[in-house]
Amino acid sequence: MIELSDMLRELRRQLTSAVADGDGQLVRFELGPVEVEATVAVTREAGADAKVKLWVVDVGANGKYAQAQTQRIKVTLTPKAFPADGGPVRPVLIAGGEVEGER
């Protein structure tokens, strides 16, 4: 299992890579809303600063976490490009070759 925040961080990294691959390409695509759907296990830490964490569950691992509370969640993200120089927010454009296993 990985934390939901780690999964979203990796998604951001891969989208950033796709944007970089698209620089200078004749055909680019504006990135619209991104829907992420995952099964998560909800855990709670004990103590004064108790936190609730969401862990993404592997497809075949649902049975292992039957005693943990699992929920199916869908998150819709709207990517925006915030230039490092403080320039205006702009739409995200991506391009690149097909990656094996990509849907």
Say if 102 falls within a structural domain.
no
pLDDT band at 21, cuts 50/70/90? confident
Is residue 100 over pLDDT 80? no
- Residue 44 CB contacts under 8 Å (≥ 6 apart), including other chains: 50, 51, 52, 53
pTM, to two decimals: 0.65
H helices of 23-97, where?
none
- Cβ atoms 19, 81 nearer than 8 A: yes
Domain count, the chain: 1
Residue 100 tokens read as: 């094996």
Residue 76 tokens read as: 């819709």
Q: Three-state SS for 70?
A: strand
Say if 14 falls within a structural domain.
yes
Say if 103 falls within a structural domain.
no
- Convert the pLDDT of each residue in 56-77 to its tens digit: 887 665 555 555 677 888 989 8
Q: Which of 8, 60, 70 is nearest to 39 (CA)?
A: 70
Domain holding 13, by residue range, is 2-94
Size of the chain, expressed as the number of residues it contains: 103
